[in-house]
Amino acid sequence: MQSLKDYHYKNEFTSAFPGDESGDLSPRQTPGALYSKAIPTPVSKPELLAWTETLAEELEISYPEDEDIKILAGNKVTARMHPYAACYAGHQFGNWAGQLGDGRAITLGEWEHNGKPYELQLKGAGPTAYSRSADGRAVLRSSVREYLISEAMHHLGVPTTRALSLVTTGDKILRDMFYDGNAAYEQGAVVMRVSESFLRFGNFEILAARKEIENLQKLVHWTIERYYPHITGTQKIIPWFKEVIERTAQLIVEWHRVGFVHGVMNTDNMSILGQTIDYGPFSFLDDYDPGFTPNTTDLPGRRYAFGNQPSVGLWNLRRLATALNPLFEDSAELEEALNTYEDIFWNKYYKMMGNKLGLDEVKKEDKMLISDLEEILAKIKPDMTIFYQLLMDTPEDLSEVEQLMQHFGECFYTEPQAEMKTTLLALLKTYSVRRKTNKISVSETKELMRKTNPRFILRNYLLHQAIEELEQGKNELFEKLRTALKDPYSNKFDEFLKKRPDWATKKAGCSMLSCSS
């Protein structure tokens, strides 16, 4: 085990590419630079609120002492660190936004473990050259959300960045949560994020937009050699792009498996590694609603609603292809690769849904069953998590509406109309007959469903309650959630297997959030 303060960090990104080394934190354009040096701004009273032991043990990082906590808060930078903010661009809500960059994230350096580098990045440690008019800080509210969801997604088996620590700063931060003129001071905090890389589609977009083709080509080949070393041969870019397509498709399939809505799928929030990155106004589905978006900024268009995530994934990949296009004589190969997305996505999607339903394989007629099920669920809007838990133990003799309501009643937020009950009952009968044809046993069927359908999800109302308690100096619910999220497929934490309460339907921070969340 090594301490944060004594470790000899690597800085391969800053060594490989041109950057702005002035240390100037004033907002500005940085043409020709892939990053800008950014020294974190100290806070008044850093205190460690949470430390992720499992991740620390995996990377062999020792428990933080006083000097290490200063590092986690941004109050100390060691001689072997080279703190920087990355420069990137992006399409936000479908529109080109130009230069963006790490406005409140500062990468300290690279921690190598078993030959693999991991970037250690502080979120909320002060302004950078890309903060624009913002202060580069993060509030406790958004930091708790990011800390907990990063680890929750990891334990759900969804590709994600991780969170090593959560530190409170002792400072108050002014925030207008819904951009409605009602700003208020909130407690400040800093999260240390961990990933092999925080490169996103926007890192490539900015270079193409600026016509910095030499830097673009160098970044592409560096990314392949560093993170996709299995890709060999003289022509690597198309095979690499195809793998980015596949990873992106797989990521969104995993989101849909657990009912996750990212909320702000801008191209600058799309990881080149196919990880979930930049947690803001995210949510898990409570009631099953393909049109649900948790992001107030996404209204009324609902561009990033749950059901739109697959198509937005393709749209974003097209923007990445456009950025890569200058490296090719024509766009035919890139277009051909893009045309594989839908088949890749839907093949993965139906396999995932087959697992959720406990099917040994997905036949042509099963795809119709899945489609019919999703259609009826979108109409009756049961609690998604509870519905699939109850589906595992659907009675063999389910033949009457009364039986249907007796078994599934607890998952409904509003009792379905008679016609919808009848339709659902008929569909579940068909499903029951199909399940009996499985070439795997009943116990194997249920085990497949158990491993695929989470029993615990980090619901927004639970997060909101935990944040309110922390703001009052209490951490009981926060610690309970930290424990529960490590084992989301077991029945050990059924105190949380409940529908969203009525009071949370309209409460700020429970149903709707903003990009500042």
CB within 8 A of 157, min separation 6: which ones? 254
- The backbone torsions φ and ψ at residue 187, rounded to the nearest 5 degrees and listed phi first, read -70, 140
What is the C-alpha separation between 324 and 320, in angstroms, rounded? 6
Long-range (24+ apart) CB contacts under 8 A made by 216-219 are: 216/323, 216/324, 216/326, 216/327, 217/327, 218/16, 218/17, 219/17, 219/34
Name the 3-class secondary structure at 365. Answer: helix
What is the C-alpha separation between 382 and 503, in angstroms, rounded? 18
* Closest-CA residue to 125 (of 173, 160, 162): 173
Q: Contact 32/212 with Cβ under 8 angstroms?
A: yes
Per annotation, catalytic residue among 268, 286, 287, 383 = 268
Q: Within the chain, what is the greatest distance between any pair of CA atoms?
A: 73
Query: Per residue, what are the HEC states of 404-424?
Result: HHHHHHHHECCCCCHHHHHHH
Would you tell me how many other CB atoms lie within 10 Å of the CB of residue 291? 10
Radius of gyration, CA atoms only, the chain: 24
| Structure-block tokens of residue 163 | 């969170």
Q: What is the DSSP letter of 103?
A: S
Using alpha carbons only, what angle is made at residue 491 by residues 485 and 496, rounded to the nearest 5 degrees?
60
* Closest-CA residue to 279 (of 179, 173, 153, 177): 153
Q: Contact 482/50 with Cβ under 8 angstroms?
A: yes
* Closest-CA residue to 171 (of 74, 63, 78): 74
Q: Would you put residue 17 in left (φ > 0), alpha (ψ -120 to 50) or beta?
A: beta
Query: Per residue, what are the HEC states of 174-224?
Result: EECCCCCCCCEEEEEEEEEEEECCCCEHHHHHHHHHCCCHHHHHHHHHHHH
Positive or negative CA dihedral for 86, 88, 94, 97? positive
Is 268 a residue of the active site? Answer: yes
Would you tell me how many other CB atoms lie within 10 Å of the CB of residue 368? 11
* Closest-CA residue to 19 (of 219, 158, 316, 236): 219
Q: Contact 163/189 with Cβ under 8 angstroms?
A: no
Write out the catalytic residue numbers.
Answer: 268
